[in-house]
Structure 1
Amino acid sequence: MINRRNTLAALLFGALASVLSFQSPASADVVIKHAAGETSIPDNPKRVVVFDLATLDNMNRLKIDNIVGVPEGIKPKYLEQYNDAKYTKVGTLFEPNYETVASLKPDLIIIADRSAAKFNDLAKIAPTIDLSVNNNHYLADVDRNVTILGQIFNKQKEAKDEIDSLNKKLEEVRKVAADKGTGLLVMTTGGKISAFGPGSRFGLLHSGFGVKPANDKLEVGNHGQMISPEFILETNPDWLFVIDRDAAIGREGEAAAKLLDNALINKTKAAENKHIVYLDPQNWYLIGGGLSGLHETADQLDDVFSKAK
């Protein structure tokens, strides 16, 4: 009798163990490979702190609403909802408020680029992943980041759809840009001009959108190469693309259009053919690898190239 009871108990225990092991993946940790290594995080975390506007953009596109903390500061219109008081402000893009972050008891912290240097400190508070992008494989990293978010928050299909939609649009822009000549991208700030070429933080203009570089020997770095109006005339691009940094960060300064209204620049092919394009400064300077920003830029470039003679 005792043996029968023991056998029955063993069978019941085994069945229960099987059920539990079958159910456990729903709550199992997920190991994520990212720019700073590998991190084990809870599946579909419920309290997320984000220190990167591109990630905020991508989570918004994927309709992920598990965000409890965001950086303070200016945001584009499509992210203005995160200025609401229900999203705790956790410091700036560069400087986290560690006490505030800890008080939110997050189960995931996401950083990138500007906040990447704070990885070790933030990782002491909660599991942290770094979604920084590398300028040498920018679009591949954007795809990776969206895929990671889909994996973490069980939005794999939505993530794939977003990636496919963006890549299709980029391919369309590359086709219309192919025969439109050369381009030079400059950024203005504080009355100064810097240029960015292939491999730089804004090299996506060439690698992603297909614009032929007017100068492929520019210094590669976060701050670009300081240049003068004489340099722009010597380079003489078919297109001049402009980012007004002061406008991006809400700082008063000489507007890019006024600064570039220069006798030398006005002699360039770009100026003579009305091919000076003012890019959305927030999308380029603040957001970077965000889906909405990339879609808006693709639409703008497709429009100006399609209308060009």
Structure 2
Amino acid sequence: MTFSRTATALLAGLVALATPALAQEFTVTHAQGETTLPGVPQKVVSFDFAAIETLEAIGVDVAGLPGSNLPAHLEKYASDDYAKVGSLFEPDYEALAALEPDLIIVAGRSSTAYPELANLAPTVDLSNEWTNFYGSIKANAEIIGEIFDKEAEVAALIAETEAKVEASRAAAADAGKGLVVLTSGAEVTAYGPGSRFGYIHETLGVTPVIEDVEAATHGDSISFEFILETNPDLLFVIDRDAATGQGAAAAILDNELVGETTAWRNGDVVYIDPVRAYIVNGGLISFGIMADQVTEALSD
């Protein structure tokens, strides 16, 4: 009898050890409210390349993603092993229904589809805020860490990125004043603090040559005369066309007026990685790489 009871107790203990803990429901807060998940997601769809970078860095694979505009550094996801579920702007609801994901991530371009996607599967919106770009990048990474029980891994990524940001700020401290422009076709638009690319000033430490770009330009395209008048020591260029494979910024800006600026004469024109800045548009990994670019350019 004693042996039988002992054996039964031992068997029960072994069964308990072998049985995985039941998944626990939890709720995450994001840009469009709260989403409740029944446990750690196993089949993930992301319409946000920045989130995919972070997921990859912490060892989480996605099952589905947009089928167009895939950055070269995410080339592995072009494989048929990964379902293509629409574009950055338009989900393919039929493909999503067939895939049956247990988490969908949207951000920025895809965020307007949130209500419909949330009816298909638990969905979170990891859109960044232009007025708090770097802060929202870190917060969104922490949401990913929370969802996948990878808080320590995300904390390490944030620490890495913080070090890159500090290096950029140190390099920019005495480097002079800068102007950030986006080129698209023959159009050139300036961006200052508080704008889409304002993080080059606010976070990476570059002193703006003009504080209120919006007031000076009314949000319109700028002329080459404007660039000469502001005469930046540093010119940061994001080539929108290069992001989509048709770059021409260097040719557009190579003219007599821009050529007279301090930045052009001293060779202090920095071409920010357009795919990281425009297509990926956020995320710890790409942000860290852009910070490295600024540091390297200003340390030469």
TM-score (norm 2): 0.90
Cα gap change, 1:265/1:150 in structure 2, threshold over 3 Å: closer, same or farther? same
Find 2:44's aligned residue among 45, 48, 53: 48
Give how far 1:122 is off: 0.6
* Distance (whole Å) between structure 1 residues aligned to residue 203 and residue 44 of structure 2: 30
* Distance (whole Å) between structure 2 residues aligned to residue 210 and residue 93 of structure 1: 31
Give how far 1:139 is off: 1.2
* Distance (whole Å) between structure 2 residues aligned to residue 103 and residue 42 of structure 1: 20
Structure 1 stretches of 4+ moved >3 Å: 23-26
1:64-122 C-alpha deviation (Å, 9 max, x unpaired): 12x11101122333211111111111111111111111111011100001111111011
Greater Cα offset, 26-35 or 255-264: 26-35
Aligned to 1:3: none
Find 1:86's aligned residue among 53, 64, 81: 81
- State the identity %: 45
* Secondary structure class of the residue paired with 1:195: strand
* Distance (whole Å) between structure 2 residues aligned to residue 107 and residue 123 of structure 1: 11
CA contact (8 A) 2:141 2:283 kept: no
After superposition, where does 1:1-309 map in structure 2 within 5 Å?
A: 26-65=22-61, 67-219=62-214, 225-250=220-245, 255-307=248-300
Aligned to 1:9: none
1:144-184 C-alpha deviation (Å, 9 max, x unpaired): 11111111111111010001110111011101101111111
* Secondary structure class of the residue paired with 1:119: helix
1:1-21 C-alpha deviation (Å, 9 max, x unpaired): xxxxxxxxxxxxxxx9xx99x
* Distance (whole Å) between structure 1 residues aligned to residue 174 and residue 70 of structure 2: 35
* Distance (whole Å) between structure 1 residues aligned to residue 220 and residue 47 of structure 2: 28
TM-score (norm 1): 0.87
Structure 1 unpaired stretches of 5+: 1-15
* Secondary structure class of the residue paired with 1:179: coil
* Distance (whole Å) between structure 2 residues aligned to residue 29 and residue 224 of structure 1: 46
* Secondary structure class of the residue paired with 1:185: strand
Report the count of equivalent residues: 283
Cα gap change, 1:25/1:212 in structure 2, threshold over 3 Å: closer, same or farther? farther
Q: Which amino acid aligns with 1:31?
A: T
CA contact (8 A) 2:185 2:248 kept: no
Q: Which amino acid aligns with 1:82?
A: Y
Give how far 1:219 is off: 2.2
* Distance (whole Å) between structure 2 residues aligned to residue 212 and residue 43 of structure 1: 45
Give how far 1:25 is off: 7.0
1:47-70 C-alpha deviation (Å, 9 max, x unpaired): 1110011111111111112x1110
Q: Which amino acid aligns with 1:275?
A: D
Q: Which amino acid aligns with 1:169?
A: K
CA contact (8 A) 1:61 1:291 kept: no
* Distance (whole Å) between structure 2 residues aligned to residue 148 and residue 304 of structure 1: 32
Structure 2 unpaired stretches of 5+: 1-11
Cα gap change, 1:224/1:159 in structure 2, threshold over 3 Å: closer, same or farther? farther
Give how far 1:140 is off: 1.3
Q: Which amino acid aligns with 1:119?
A: Y
CA contact (8 A) 1:218 1:225 kept: no
